Chains A and B, each alone.
Chain A
Amino acid sequence: MIQLIVANLWLIPAAPLAVSLLILALSSSRRGSAAALAIAGQVIALVFATAAFLPTLQTPGYRALQNFVWFTFGDQPLRIGWVLDPLAAAMLMMITLVGLCIFVFSVGYMADDRNFTRFFSYLSFFSAAMLGLVIANSLLLLFVCWELVGLASYLLIGFWIERPSAAAAAKKAFITTRIGDIGFFLGILWLFGRTGTLVFYDDGRGCLENASLVALGATATFIALLIFCGAAGKSGQFPLHVWLPDAMEGPTPVSALIHAATMVAAGVFLVARVYPLFTLGGINGVTPSLTVVVWIGVITALMASLIALAQFDIKRILAYSTISQLGLMMVSLGVGGVAAGIMHLIAHGFFKALLFLGAGSVIHGCHHEQDIRKMGGLRWLMPITFLTYVVGMTNLTGFPFFFSGAWTKEEILHATGHWPVSHLPHYLMLAGVVLTALYMSRQIIYVFFGNGRGASEHAHESPSMMTMPLIVLAACSILFSIVATPAWSWLHAYLNGEPARFDLSLLVQPMLFVSAALVFGGIGFGIFIYRNVAETDPLAQKQPALFEFLQKKMWLDEFYRWTVVALGQLAAHISDLLDRYFWDGLVRAFAGLGQLFGIFTANFDERGINAGVDQTTAGARGLGRVMSAWHSGQVQTYLGVIAVGMLALLILYAWLT
Chain B
Amino acid sequence: MTPTLQLFLTISAALFSIGLVAALSRRHAIFILIGIEMMLAAANLNFIAFWRFGPNPQQPTGVMVAIFSIAIAAAEAAVGLALVIAIYRHFRTTNVDQLNQLKG
Q: Annotate B78-104 by CB proximity to A: 1 below 8 A, 0 otherwise.
A: 000000000000000000110111111
Question: Which of A168-176, A432-440, A632-640 forms part of the interface with chain B?
Answer: A632-640
Q: DSSP class of B's interface residues: helix, strand, loop or mixed?
A: loop
In the assembled complex, B45 has its CB within 8 A of some CB on chain A: no
Determine how close the nearest CB of chain A comes to the CB of B36; give it in whole angstroms. 9
In the assembled complex, A631 has its CB within 8 A of some CB on chain B: yes
A633 to B103, CA, bound (A): 4
Interface residue count for B (Cβ, 8 Å)?
13
Cβ-neighbour of B103 out of A631, A639, A643 (below 8 A): A631
Would B24 and A634 count as touching, CB distance under 8 A? Answer: no
Determine how close the nearest CB of chain B comes to the CB of A9; give it in whole angstroms. 98
A61 to B29, CA, bound (A): 133
| Chain A stretch 609-635: residues in CB contact (< 8 A) with chain B | 628, 631-635
| Chain B stretch 9-52: residues in CB contact (< 8 A) with chain A | 20, 23-25, 32
A633 / chain B contacts, CB cutoff of 8 Å: 99-103
Q: How many A-B residue pairs have CB under 8 A?
A: 30
A640 to B97, CA, bound (A): 14
Would A632 and B103 count as touching, CB distance under 8 A? Answer: yes
Would B100 and A643 count as touching, CB distance under 8 A? Answer: no
Residue of A nearest to B29 (CB): A635
A640 / chain B contacts, CB cutoff of 8 Å: 24
Determine how close the nearest CB of chain A comes to the CB of B14; give it in whole angstroms. 15
B103 / chain A contacts, CB cutoff of 8 Å: 628, 631-633
Would B96 and A634 count as touching, CB distance under 8 A? Answer: yes
Residue among A631, A632, A635, A640 with the highest chain B CB neighbour number at 10 A? A635
Determine how close the nearest CB of chain A comes to the CB of B43; give it in whole angstroms. 13
A634 to B101, CA, bound (A): 8
B32 / chain A contacts, CB cutoff of 8 Å: 635-636
Determine how close the nearest CB of chain B comes to the CB of A312; give it in whole angstroms. 101
A638 to B24, CA, bound (A): 9
A643 to B24, CA, bound (A): 9
From known contacts A643-B20, A643-B24, infer whether A636 and B101 are also in contact, taking CB-CB under 8 Å.
no
B101 / chain A contacts, CB cutoff of 8 Å: 633
Would B104 and A635 count as touching, CB distance under 8 A? Answer: no
Residue of B nearest to A628 (CB): B104
Q: Report 29 cross-chain contacts, Cβ distance below 8 Å, ordered by A residue.
A: A628-B103, A628-B104, A631-B103, A631-B104, A632-B100, A633-B99, A633-B100, A633-B101, A633-B102, A633-B103, A634-B96, A634-B97, A634-B100, A634-B102, A635-B32, A635-B96, A635-B99, A635-B102, A636-B23, A636-B24, A636-B25, A636-B32, A636-B96, A638-B102, A639-B23, A639-B24, A640-B24, A643-B20, A643-B24
Which residues in A have some Cβ–Cβ distance to B below 8 Å? Answer: 628, 631-636, 638-640, 643
Contacts beyond the supplied A632-B100, A636-B96: 4 A-B pairs with Cβ under 8 Å: A633-B103, A635-B99, A635-B102, A643-B24
